[in-house]
Amino acid sequence: MDGTKAFTATLTQRKAYTAAQFGIPTAKLLERLQRENLALSYFADDNFSPLPGGIPVLRGQAVVGAVAVGGISVAEDVEAAELIVSALSE
């Protein structure tokens, strides 16, 4: 995307990875970390990113992948990722 920072691609990949590993949206993980005063490093994986915009793709209860969007506002990242996952689920 024009105007985004080079690290956006790496962060976005990490958001997708995190959503797939935890099976929850990264925004929910960030809320939990803040609520319980947890450090992400407690989970012992340097590839995790709790930044909002990562959404798991589920088939029933099974995680089959994840989608992440980055480089726009947090709200737009989340909205775009949710729309993509919704379209994949149809």
Q: Indicate the pLDDT class of residue 2, thresholds 50, 70 and 90.
A: low
Q: Give the residue among 65, 51, 58, 53 at the shortest CA–CA distance from 20.
A: 65
Domain boundaries, the chain: 8-89
Percent of the chain residues topping a pLDDT of 70: 97
pTM of the model: 0.90
pLDDT (tens digit, 9 = 90+) per residue, 9-24? Answer: 899 999 999 999 999 9
CA distance 83 to 81: 5
DSSP string, the chain: -TT--TTHHHHHHHHHHHHHHHSS-HHHHHHHHHHTT--GGGG--TT----S-EEEEEETTEEEEEEE--SS-HHHHHHHHHHHHHHHH-
User: What is the predicted pLDDT for the residue at 79?
Assistant: 96
pLDDT (tens digit, 9 = 90+) per residue, 61-75? Answer: 999 999 999 989 999
Superfamily (CATH) of domain 8-89: Haem-degrading domain (3.30.450.150)
Higher pLDDT: 67 or 90? It is 67
